[in-house]
A and B are shown apart, each in its own frame.
Chain A
């Protein structure tokens, strides 16, 4: 997108542009807002449609996609479009909850590592190494297994495994801010530590934290879907995307491709939208690119 904008501005240096261009910042803001709205709409629609999505109609089972059923119907005559929207809504909510919890862990541990002295730093760093030492999926299976699967198993699993990278970012950010000139000046002036934390550290770290939080959603949603797909996440009666896809496996060899294709594409679309929101917010809040 940026290349396109550059290409549009390049020849118009010497004379006024023929078309009044919308500034990139506004465009980014618009794109971000629209993406966020679409996601919100999906969540709301899913919550409203959930009862209808479970409606069976055996006169209409195993239908290929058509105008009446754009995503087709499954072996119980349920409309796949409604099931997909309801599933996406549920997956987004679980991902949201897990990502928020995980980013709070990251904030706590990252700050502790940066401010708690060398020993705390070593402990947190080692904890991160330990978390990275077991593949994500295996750790998710273990945590979900420990908590008896289900909603809490998958939410806690995702929350407990996704913090390391954001914790590293926050640690670096706090360290950099703490050694900066304005904090040293505030210290010399005798400002108490809690006021330094509130008025100097927080504003510097908050943007990074928010962006990290938003960019964690896609990972959280994908891992939620994966772990549910494997059978460790949400129970089969909840219409999560992972459930829809794992159920579809039994019908693929019968040629019912639409059961897997459309729900998967919708999931990818949701992930890309979250990514768009995250990158948009990052571009607007980080000083380096805010004016682009």
Chain B
């Protein structure tokens, strides 16, 4: 176990070092000039020379790449991610404030799509060739071909604008003080984005679980159990699930990255104030510090997903648990 932890820590450190370098390199390669991006055209034209130099110094224009990278990294080590230009607040604060919204959205979508996709996959695979199977397959193929943001738009048109069941944006009612917002309000605003994100996430896990279920149903132990007179439901519950759970868990944890990507698009469509929307705002507004910060956080979340997959794998799979193999 200590070796497992140490190995993962080293992996994490190496990955984060590389990620931080790539992120910083990309962000600083941008042709966006901090002066013209933040001062405004009219003000820029009237800027006095001293003021211009002072501002350039303030944003570190002209400082060599390695020096800036060093400063950023040492700040990072102390938990200082810099200051966001768009939100005029420390990046860490902006991220912390929005992470709650995003995490609620992603957690709900991740769990719902995992459970729903798994059930659909098992049901379709167990009754291969049936109408249900075809319906599930068609649903998954069409969903996999649909752009996430378009599905979100359709949801918005149908349930937000057409039926009026859900609000068309934001995480709380407009024009009400933050203190008056109830938990129910927040839930009401979260429902449609979370539902959309869950809907889109189903395809992958359902198709994989379906394939796996077909394999399991063709295996000798299932044939033996059926021959012994067990019902199909009992066979799936007692023999199938424990063999199906493992690949499903792996896929669903690998799906964390996809869910994060989907949340960026869904948040943008629903004007939902989460990390994804902040990333888009930062990217469009030339807010390099915030964009870099969110990219790092996303990498940490994805790594966390993969790591959890490994740990859960070890807990569920008896072969690994007993230390026979170390995957």
Contact = CB atoms under 8 A, between A and B. Distances in A.
Contacts of B257: 132, 134-136
Contacts of A255: 161
A261 B265 contact: no
A267 B153 contact: no
Contacts of B265: 137, 226, 229-230
Interface in A87-138: 129-130, 132-138
Contacts of B294: 138
A253 B29 CA distance: 38
Given A249-B153, A260-B157, A218 B23 contact: no
Task: Place the interface of chain B in its size category.
Answer: 35 or more
Contact of B302 (A135, A147, A268, A275): A135
B147 A142 contact: no
B154 A145 contact: no
Nearest to B260: A135
A143 B26 contact: yes
Given A136-B261, A148-B32, A264-B147, A130 B298 contact: no
Contact of B18 (A130, A222, A225): A130
B26 A142 contact: yes
Interface in A256-277: 257, 260-261, 264, 267-268, 271-272, 275
B264 A137 contact: yes
Interface in B137-172: 141-142, 145-150, 153-154, 156-157, 161-162, 168
Contacts of B261: 135-138
A142 B19 contact: no
Contact of A141 (B19, B22, B29, B280): B280
A283 to B, nearest CB: 16
A252 B156 CA distance: 8
A15 to B, nearest CB: 25
A230 B153 contact: no
A146 B26 CA distance: 5
Interface SS majority for chain A:
helix
A209 to B, nearest CB: 22
Contacts, number: 139
Contacts of A56: none
A237 interface: no
A248 interface: yes
Contacts of B15: 129-130, 133
B222 interface: no
A156 to B, nearest CB: 11
B112 interface: no
Contacts of A271: 145-146
B46 interface: no
Contacts of A3: 129
Given A264-B146, A275-B145, 14 more contacts: A132-B302, A133-B15, A133-B299, A134-B302, A135-B257, A135-B264, A142-B291, A146-B29, A229-B265, A229-B268, A230-B283, A231-B280, A267-B147, A271-B146
Interface of A: 3, 129-130, 132-139, 141-148, 218, 222, 225-226, 229-232, 245, 248-249, 252-253, 255, 257, 260-261, 264, 267-268, 271-272, 275
